[in-house]
């Protein structure tokens, strides 16, 4: 109950602060918020757009929550998302003749491996005790979009639309199926499935128990013979793979081709969602829905109020600040 | 600055440095005989210095203190004796402002006081030396002490502080070099710094929480000498412990606590070992440890063999150097030494947590030099860690979950997708039963267990799986008499069933009563291997500290 109240309070404070920002920019905050709610929750199309936004947010949130059970901080969701999209794109434009029944599983595997290997690099560095995973995943975020950029500006640049730096279009069989009439795609099932597996894996299986043991007391875990390094690498691989799925779904289902800068920072927002929810599956579901509303609303404000899309970043940053301040506060009171 | 009226002002600080006025000291000398000395002081003065009245404190699962009354007189060493979990530390932490009592009042110097925080306690000139010290290792002794001074000037004068330190330390036998960095000091000297810190900050009540736990035998005697001198200068000292021998060696009055209540207060002349044990455990005094004689099976293959093992030194501590060691089935090998002489490295090498930089390690006749910790554990090697909470369990997990972690493969179903919790429960209950222990709440988080119960949970997990080799590091440290006795009995039981035990301990009594053979570690080397009957405590003491000639 108190947790719910806390979230509501966070939201109210953030919305008030953002309203002040809108006022200073000469916009009408009441109308802006009204538009957001009406558009996103008031129309079936709006709602479907919210769910489309929610898919990558939920996946990248799980990609943060999973390693956090081990006490690892994965800030690299964004980079892992890009690398998943990159490897999936390679598959899509290489094996153009495959039927859809084979293509979709292939893309899932490639997206997973792409993001996973990217995170496993950080995992290896950590397991060897060389580089802290927070630093390495954060820095790898800057490298991944550059790799994507290198390919879409170079080797993969589409011939038919050379004005834009983008890959050739995916063959129709390499597009994830969508719900007819909407942009909601197979990624939703993937995301929900991953969420359930995350809950089950952490709470019910022996690996989950070991992971929680490592997170709870690495020293004892080591003495109990749990191979810490192995767990670090594998868990980061799986987490990165989940973020990679988000990237794969974005390019395959929505864009149909790889573009540079296709993600508006989903990986970072996923990090925020995971921390807001404290890694709880239900919390992540709710928070990703909420932030998807803000995301979808941001696109709308751009049209109706002339507020640049980047302005939603201000709102999200405000939420994050307030959450962090709250956490600090709560901890001091407990001590 | 809010200075309470009774706290006096700046002007009489120099006078207050010695809590017992010289007149008072003189009156003790006049009264002569030691036994009734405390009574003299009590009557000569305005009643007890500190009175606790009806203190109650409950924690979620336990009533730690239940209507406790305690008087602390001026110029006495008051021992607070009791089993683990009897509520001694809680009571003193209430006095120091660490916890707040649910009920009851605290009277200091005749005035009712509310102590909300250690800051309030310090204002009333009450100081506490904790089990784990609160020094900053990177700073010098003088800097650490200066940090604690209540009225530190903006630009402290090093020379002046060092001078104060020298003056006070000479008076009480607390010699420490003020310029030394705390990191470089041995544990005994660090404790001296803790005491100096309180003295220079003007404390008149000094609380020692299990002060001797970290000390070597000769350091304990030094500490007692310091306490006596402080007492003679009028300081009031509370000495929390569960060791009878220490109480009888230094206390003037002894208050025994049992399950959160006062079981009784005795003066030194009334106190006998037997009377105290009866108070501590009611009528059910624990039977003396009568250990079965050694029944060594001369097996062809030793459980453990180390051949010329070296490890890399970690930070400033010694690593192992050229360790040759053989441990047979059905044998307890005691490892004596002052902590920090690579005992931990020895245990870690055997458990596979630390690689051998050179040399070979054989387990049950197989070369295990490069085995992982998991593989070694699966081969039947168990451990009892030196810090149960930090090294043995996941603190927020329940007893049941921690037990399951000990042998997860066994409880996995469907290849690990599910865990058989009823099997874990059955095993936990069986091992508690087999070890003659009563199981605690299985759904209690490990961190909520008392020290004794936590150690029992670890012993049940580690010994319940019938290991062939156990590395037991300080298995009875911090345990009360009953818990320690049962832990020792368990070790001999598994020894008699053919397992090998490496017993690392600082308690010479324990080493002598349990070990079939003894080694002494000093600076990472085995200083001596001997049968307990062949070597005296003095020899061991000298070998442990690297003093004397060894083969005396």
Residue of B nearest to A205 (CA): B417
Which pLDDT value is given to residue A19? Answer: 86
A228 to chain B nearest CA, in Å?
10
Of B373, B395, B416, the CB nearest to A225: B373
> Which of A209, A213, A227 is nearest residue B372 as measured by Cβ atoms?
A227
Contact A217 B383 (CB under 8 A): no
- pLDDT of res. A191: 96
Shortest CA distance from A207: residue in chain B:
B416
A82 vs A87: CA distance, rounded Å: 9
Backbone phi and psi for residue B403, each to the nearest 5 degrees, phi listed first: -65, -40
Q: How confident is the model at residue B31 (pLDDT cuts 50, 70, 90)?
A: very low
In this structure, of B133-137, B210-214, B445-449, the range with the lowest mean pLDDT score is B210-214
Q: Do B419 and A209 touch (CB under 8 A)?
A: yes
pLDDT tops 50 at residue B6: no
**Closest residue to A216, CB basis, from B372, B378, B397:** B397
Give the B-side interface with A, CB within 8 Å: 351-353, 372-378, 383, 385, 390-397, 401, 404-406, 408-409, 411-412, 416-419
Q: Would an 8 Å CB–CB cutoff place A96 in contact with chain B?
A: no
* Nearest-neighbour CA in chain A from B376: distance (Å): 8
* Cβ neighbours of A206 in B, within 8 Å: 408-409, 411-412, 416, 419
CA distance A95 to B419: 42
The residue ranking higher by pLDDT, A193 or B89, is: A193
**What confidence score (pLDDT) does residue A141 get?**
94
Q: Is the pLDDT of residue B357 over 50?
A: yes
- CB-based contact, A207 to chain B, within 8 Å: yes
* Residues of chain A numbered 3-32 and touching chain B (CB < 8 Å): none
Residue of chain A whose Cα is closest to the Cα of B348: A223
Cα separation, B549 vs B552, whole angstroms: 6
Handedness of CA A138, A142, A145, A148 (dihedral sign): negative
**Record: contact A217-B393, CB cut-off 8 A:** yes
> What residue segments make up the domains of chain B, in order of their start?
301-380+467-552, 388-461
Determine the pLDDT at residue B453: 84
β strands within B287-331, DSSP E: 304-310, 323-327
Least confident segment among A46-55, B215-224, B381-390? B215-224
CA distance A224 to A245: 34
A203 CB near a chain B CB, below 8 Å?
A: no
Mean pLDDT in residue range B117-131: 88
Would you state the pLDDT for residue B287? 45
Residues 6+ apart with CB under 8 A from A287: A61, A273, A276, A277
3-state secondary structure chain A: CHHHHHHHHHHHHHHHHHHHHHHHCCCCHHHHHHHHHHHHHHCHHHHHHHHHHHHHHHHHHHHHHHHHCCCCCCCCHHHHHHHHHHHHHHHHHHCCCCCHHHHHHHHHHHHHHHHHHHHHHHHHHHHCCCCCHHHHHHHHHHHHHHHHHHHHHCCCCCCCCCCCCECCCCCHHHCCCECCCCCCECHHHHHHHHHHHHHHHHHHCHHHHHHHHHHHCHHHHHHCCCCHHHHHHHHHHHHHHHHHHHHHHHHHHHHCCCECCCCCCHHHHHHHHHHHHCCCHHHHHHHHHHHHHHHHHHHHHHHHCCCCCCHHHHHHHHHHHHHHHHHHHHHHHHC
Alpha-carbon gap: A206 to the closest alpha carbon of chain B (Å) = 5
How do residues B495-536 score in pLDDT, each as one tens digit?
988 899 999 987 788 888 899 999 999 888 898 898 888 888
CA-nearest residue to B416 within chain A is A206
| Chain A residues whose beta carbon lies within 8 Å of the beta carbon of residue B396 | 216
pLDDT tens-digit readout, A66-85: 999 999 999 999 999 999 99
Mean pLDDT of B213-235: 85
Using alpha carbons, select from A144, A143, A169, A146 the residue that is nearest to residue A156. A169
| pLDDT at B288 exceeding the cut of 70 | no
Contacts of B416 in chain A (CB under 8 A): 205-207
Asked whether the beta carbons of residue A212 and residue B397 sit closer than 8 angstroms, the reply is: yes
Is A220's CB within 8 Å of B406's CB?
no
Among A16-20, A248-252, B99-103, B149-153, the minimum mean pLDDT is found in B149-153
* Whole-number pLDDT of residue B27: 36
> Best mutation site among B373, B384, B471 for testing chain A: the one with the most A CBs within 10 Å?
B373
Mean pLDDT of B424-432: 88
CB B500 within 8 A of CB B330: yes
DSSP code for B140: B
Separation between Cα atoms, residue B403 and residue B394, nearest integer Å: 10
Q: Of all residues in chain B, what percent carry a pLDDT higher than 70?
A: 85
Question: Residue range B266-293: average pLDDT?
Answer: 67
Residues 6+ apart with CB under 8 A from A179: A48, A185
Strand stretches in B441-542, DSSP E: 469-473, 500-504, 517-522, 525-530
- Mutation target to probe the A interface, by most A beta carbons within 10 A, among B394, B445, B455, B471 is B394
pLDDT for the residue B21: 41
Q: In what order do the strands lie in the sheet with B62-72?
A: B62-72, B50-59, B103-108, B111-113
CA separation for the pair A25, A279 (Å, rounded): 36
Chain A nearest-CA residue for B350: A223
Query: Is the pLDDT reported for residue B7 higher than 60?
Result: no
Q: Are A244 and A142 in contact (CB under 8 A)?
A: no
Chain B contact present for A209, CB below 8 A: yes
Judged by a CB distance cut-off of 8 A, whether residue A227 touches chain B is: yes
Cβ-based contacts of A225 with chain B (< 8 Å): 352, 372-378
List all residues 6 or more positions away from B452 whose beta carbon is below 8 Å from its beta carbon.
Answer: B83, B84, B85, B479, B480, B482, B483
pTM as predicted: 0.71
- Which chain B residues are closer than 8 Å to A207 by Cβ? 416
Nearest chain B Cα distance for residue A236, angstroms: 20
pLDDT on residue B263? 87
Radius of gyration for chain B, computed over Cα atoms and rounded to the nearest angstrom: 25
- Burial status of residue B173 (CB atoms within 10 A of its CB: 0-12, 13-18, 19 or more): middle
Topology of the domain comprising B301-380+467-552: Rossmann fold (3.40.50)
Residue B61: the pLDDT is 65
The answer to whether the CB of A211 falls within 8 A of the CB of A218 is no
**Ranges under pLDDT 70 in chain A:** 1-3, 161-162, 324, 326-335
Whether A220 and B385 lie within 8 Å, measured CB to CB: yes
Q: Do A224 and B406 touch (CB under 8 A)?
A: yes
Residue among A209, A212, A220 whose CB faces B392 most closely: A220
The predicted pLDDT at position A250 comes to 94
Work out the average pLDDT over B345-361.
Answer: 92
* Residue B391 to residue A220, Cβ atoms within 8 A: yes
């Amino acid at each position: 109950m108190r947790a719910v109240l806390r979230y509501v309070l966070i939201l109210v404070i953030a919305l008030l602060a953002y309203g002040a920002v809108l006022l200073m920019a000469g916009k009408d905050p009441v109308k802006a918020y009204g538009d957001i709610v009406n558009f996103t929750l008031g129309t079936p199309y709006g709602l479907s757009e919210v769910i489309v936004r929610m898919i990558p947010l939920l996946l990248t949130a799980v990609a943060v929550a999973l390693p956090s059970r081990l006490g690892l901080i994965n800030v690299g969701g964004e980079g892992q998302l890009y690398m998943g999209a990159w490897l999936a794109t390679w598959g899509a434009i290489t094996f153009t003749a495959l039927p859809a029944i084979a293509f979709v599983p292939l893309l899932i595997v490639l997206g997973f491996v792409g993001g996973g290997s990217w995170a496993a690099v950080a995992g290896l560095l950590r397991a060897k005790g060389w580089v802290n995973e927070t630093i390495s995943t954060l820095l790898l975020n800057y490298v991944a979009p550059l790799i994507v950029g290198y390919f879409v500006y170079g080797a993969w640049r589409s011939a038919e639309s050379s004005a834009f730096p983008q890959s050739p279009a995916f063959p129709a069989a390499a597009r994830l199926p969508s719900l007819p009439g909407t942009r909601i795609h197979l990624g939703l099932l993937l995301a929900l499935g991953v969420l359930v597996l995350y809950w089950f894996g952490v709470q019910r299986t022996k690996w989950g128990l070991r992971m929680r043991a490592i997170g709870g007391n690495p020293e004892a875990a080591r003495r109990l013979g749990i191979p810490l390094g192995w767990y670090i690498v594998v868990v980061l691989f799986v987490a990165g793979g989940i973020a990679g799925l988000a990237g794969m779904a974005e390019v395959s289902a929505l864009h149909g081709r790889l573009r540079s800068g296709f993600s508006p920072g989903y990986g970072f927002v996923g990090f925020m969602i995971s921390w807001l929810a404290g890694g709880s599956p239900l919390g992540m579901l709710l928070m990703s829905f909420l932030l998807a509303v803000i995301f979808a609303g941001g696109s709308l404000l751009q049209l109706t109020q002339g507020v640049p899309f980047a302005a939603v970043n201000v709102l999200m940053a405000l939420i994050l600040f307030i959450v962090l301040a709250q956490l600090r506060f709560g901890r001091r009171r407990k001590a | 600055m809010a200075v309470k009226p009774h706290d006096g002002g700046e002007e009489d600080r120099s006078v207050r440095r010695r809590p017992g006025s010289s007149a008072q000291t003189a009156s003790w000398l006049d009264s002569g005989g030691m036994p009734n000395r405390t009574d003299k002081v009590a009557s000569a003065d305005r009643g007890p210095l500190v009175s606790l009245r009806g203190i109650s404190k409950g924690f979620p699962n336990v009533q730690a203190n239940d209507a406790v009354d305690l008087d602390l007189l001026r110029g006495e060493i008051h021992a607070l004796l009791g089993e683990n979990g009897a509520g001694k530390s809680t009571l003193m932490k209430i006095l120091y402002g660490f916890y707040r009592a649910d009920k009851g009042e605290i009277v200091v110097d005749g005035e009712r006081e509310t102590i909300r925080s250690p800051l309030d306690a310090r204002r009333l000139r009450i100081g506490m030396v904790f089990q784990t010290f609160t020094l900053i290792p990177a700073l010098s002794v003088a800097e650490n002490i200066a940090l604690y001074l209540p009225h530190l000037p903006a630009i402290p004068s090093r020379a002046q502080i060092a001078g104060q330190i020298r003056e006070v330390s000479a008076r009480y036998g607390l010699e420490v070099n003020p310029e030394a960095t705390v990191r470089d000091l041995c544990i005994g000297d660090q404790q001296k710094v803790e005491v100096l810190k309180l003295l220079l900050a003007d404390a008149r009540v000094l609380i020692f929480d299990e002060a001797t736990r970290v000390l070597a035998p000769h350091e304990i005697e030094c500490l007692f000498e310091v306490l006596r001198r402080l007492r003679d200068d009028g300081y009031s000292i509370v000495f929390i412990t569960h060791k009878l021998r220490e109480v009888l060696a230094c206390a003037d009055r002894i208050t025994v606590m049992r399950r959160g209540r006062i079981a009784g207060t005795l003066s030194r002349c009334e106190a006998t070992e037997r009377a105290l044990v009866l108070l501590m455990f009611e009528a059910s005094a624990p039977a003396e440890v009568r250990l079965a004689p050694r029944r060594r099976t001369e097996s062809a293959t030793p459980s453990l063999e180390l051949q010329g093992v070296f490890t890399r030194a970690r930070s400033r501590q010694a690593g192992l150097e050229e360790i040759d060691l053989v441990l047979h089935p059905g044998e307890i090998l005691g490892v004596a030494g002052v902590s920090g002489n690579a005992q931990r490295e020895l245990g870690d090498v055997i458990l596979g947590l630390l690689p051998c930089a050179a040399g070979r390690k054989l387990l049950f006749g197989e070369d295990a030099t490069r085995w992982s910790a998991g593989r070694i554990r699966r081969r039947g090697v168990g451990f009892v860690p030196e810090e149960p909470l930090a090294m043995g369990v996941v603190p927020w997990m329940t007893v049941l979950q921690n037990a399951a972690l000990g042998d997860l493969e066994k409880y996995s179903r469907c290849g690990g997708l599910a865990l058989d919790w009823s099997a874990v429960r059955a095993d936990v209950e069986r091992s508690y039963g087999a070890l003659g222990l009563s199981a605690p709440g299985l759904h209690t988080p490990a961190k909520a267990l008392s020290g004794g119960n936590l150690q029992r949970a670890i012993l049940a997990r580690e010994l319940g799986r019938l290991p062939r080799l156990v590395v037991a590091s300080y298995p009875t440290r911090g345990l009360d008499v009953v818990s320690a006795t049962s832990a020792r009995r368990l070790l001999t039981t598994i020894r008699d069933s053919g397992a090998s035990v490496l017993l690392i301990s600082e308690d010479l009594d324990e080493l002598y009563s349990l070990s079939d053979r003894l080694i002494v570690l000093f600076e990472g080397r085995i200083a001596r291997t001997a049968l307990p009957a062949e070597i005296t405590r003095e020899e061991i003491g000298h070998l442990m500290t690297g003093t004397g000639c060894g083969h005396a």
